[in-house]
Amino acid sequence: MAAYKGKRVLITGGLGFIGSNLAVRLVGEDAEVSIVDSSVEGCGANLYNIAPIRDRVKLIPAGICDAELFRDDLMSAEVIFNLAGEISHTHSMEFAERDLQINAVAQLQFLLGCRQHARGRRIVYASTRQVYGAPEYLPVDESHPVNPIDFNGVHKFAATNYHLLMSRSGDIDAIALRLTNVYGPRMALNIPCQGFLSNFLRRLLLGQTIEIYGDGNQLRDPMFVDDAVEAFLMAGAAVRPPSRVYNVGGPQALSLSEIACMAAASADAPEPVFRPFPEHQKEIDIGSYYTDSTRIRTELGWTPAVRFEEGIRRTVAYYRSELSHYLDPAAGEPTCNLPEHDGARRRLRYGAA
């Protein structure tokens, strides 16, 4: 990615999982990186994520809704990677207005700031496969109907359309990546309801047995974070891309049982056990899902390179050497303890990460 050497880049949500991995990669490519992140509770920000590059990035502790606080950085950024947001589908159902503030309102405020201070700039937005809801066919391509089954999907779809609308008007130059289940180093393991992969990893690293809800036959195509980062870099560097929305998925369609067994084997852990679906999970379960990444492969040249067996081995190795920065074995199972929406709204007025 020689295209980023010496380039000024801004990353929102850069203390989070994918954002921090992107920052580490960009610093390695000799880019000048600024990170905007206000570390909103429950969104996965962790200062340790950027420990290897802390002295080589500019960290701005602000929310994306307060663009005036970092307008100079917006004005100088040549590419903006927009990864700020809440990813939890469960949290979105329990704290719907909080999710609205983080994933929709703050996004609109940020883009209005970009229109003023970074007009016409390339913005790569981290969207989600959750906008499609329960698939009508597999694999899911970009023509699949949008029918989200939780507020997270609704709000992320709204934010995607903010990006697309403002691109059509020439205010910004946006690309949205609809990501499948991303895993790898720097995931937040101490926050509940962040998806089945973080739950599997947390249990493995604490010496517990993985629990699978249902029969385990649901399909997923997990994507290693390095492959996700590569997709962001390609989208950021693309010149006049033919499309504005790309589905980005992993290299294999695997059942949850296969994923759990491979994960357990990578950590020499006991075989997984099966449990009935909790009611609050069943209502937002989408069944099987895997991605058709043909468009991004043919138009941008991206293909996932890391198969799950290799990716989960590398992930477990990372956490075994860095576990104290991600989990406290004495803390017990994490529980949802997020602010009600009024408190979240007051907090978000000064920043959502």
Between the alpha carbon of residue 91 and those of residues 125, 206, 284, 302, the distances in Å are 21, 23, 11, 32
Domain boundaries, the chain: 7-337
Question: What residues contact residue 300 under an 8 Å CB cut-off, 6+ apart?
Answer: 231, 234, 235, 238, 241, 246
**Confidence (pLDDT) at 346:** 41
Which stretches in the chain have pLDDT values below 50? 341-353
- Architecture of the domain spanning 7-337: 3-Layer(aba) Sandwich (3.40)
**Is there a cis peptide before residue 339, judged by omega within 30 degrees of 0?**
no
**pLDDT score recorded for residue 2:** 85
Please tell me the distance from the alpha carbon of residue 282 to that of residue 350, in angstroms, as a whole number.
35
Taking only the tens place, the pLDDT of each residue in 273-285 is 998 877 666 666 7
Residue 184's nearest CA partner among 15, 303, 311, 309 is 311
The pLDDT of residue 342: 43
pLDDT tens per residue, range 167-219: 999 999 999 999 999 999 999 999 877 889 999 999 999 999 999 988 999 99
pLDDT of residue 335: 63
Say how far apart CA 60 and CA 334 lie, in whole Å: 28
